[in-house]
């Protein structure tokens, strides 16, 4: 416990020297697999609550840092992650994840990226690389999903206070199915809105 407290104090001291770029750095390190349990959520919530007018900027920095940081694990998966992943789960589960990435890559990667701990995001990031999801597609899904997650947390923090991080994780543990459905609907809506906007741009450019 003492070690954990010292670690948190050191992290907060570092963030204060980096200013808003500390949000980007923390999210990037967490995405790359550096053990920072709950740090990104805490940083986004604390910063958004302290300066609500800049909440959108903290959300963008956290989403961008997380997506770019996850490229490290994606690269590990791409370089030979199938062996690593296969050794951590049953053959049935391995084939199921492979099939999910082949049939529904956006939801298979996007949902874990929105959900709170203890949902295992890193194994899905490794799997995205191992099953050769295109890296630009991977970045787009990760950025969008993390934008939804951090945007939701920032909005709740501004409205309800920083203690929302504990409440949010507690609700997920008690009602995982309800949270999954709500997140799936939010993510699908954001994805469809993005597709609609891209289609309009394409039609405008072609017309």
Question: Tens digits of per-residue pLDDT, 153-164?
Answer: 888 888 877 766
Q: Any long-range contacts for 186-195 (C-beta under 8 Å, 24+ apart)?
A: 186/114, 186/148, 186/152, 187/107, 187/110, 187/111, 187/114, 187/144, 187/145, 187/148, 190/144, 190/147, 190/148, 191/106, 191/110, 191/144, 194/144
CA distance 175 to 134: 33
Looking up tokens 């789960």, which residue turns up? 89
Read off the pTM: 0.72
Provide the pLDDT for residue 191.
60
Residue 5: exposed, middle, or buried by beta-carbon count in 10 A (0-12, 13-18, 19+)? exposed
The alpha carbon dihedral of 190, 196, 199, 203 has a sign of negative
Provide the pLDDT for residue 73.
93
| Domain total of the chain | 1
Domain that holds residue 75: 2-206
Residue 6: exposed, middle, or buried by beta-carbon count in 10 A (0-12, 13-18, 19+)? exposed
Low-confidence ranges of the chain (pLDDT < 70): 1-16, 117-118, 163-195, 205-207
How many beta carbons lie within 10 A of that of residue 89, not counting itself?
14
């Amino acid at each position: 416990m003492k070690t954990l407290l010292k670690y948190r104090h050191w992290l907060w001291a570092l963030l204060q020297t980096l200013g808003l770029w500390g949000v980007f750095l923390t999210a990037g390190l967490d995405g790359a697999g550096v053990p920072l349990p709950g740090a990104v959520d805490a940083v986004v919530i604390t910063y958004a609550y302290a300066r609500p007018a800049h909440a959108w900027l903290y959300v963008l920095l956290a989403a961008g840092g997380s997506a770019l940081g996850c490229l490290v694990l994606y690269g590990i998966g791409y370089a030979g992650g199938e062996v690593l992943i296969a050794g951590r789960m049953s053959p049935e589960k391995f084939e199921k994840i492979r099939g999910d990435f082949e049939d529904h890559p956006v939801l298979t990667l996007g949902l874990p990226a929105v959900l709170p701990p203890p949902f295992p995001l890193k194994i899905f990031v490794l799997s995205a690389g191992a099953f050769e999801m295109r890296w630009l597609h991977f970045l787009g899904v990760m950025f969008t999903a993390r934008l939804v997650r951090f945007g939701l947390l920032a909005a709740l923090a501004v409205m309800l206070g920083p203690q929302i991080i504990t409440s949010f994780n507690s609700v997920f543990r008690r009602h995982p199915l309800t949270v999954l459905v709500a997140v799936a609907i939010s993510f699908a809506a954001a994805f469809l809105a993005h597709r609609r906007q891209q289609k309009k741009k394409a039609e405008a450019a072609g017309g």
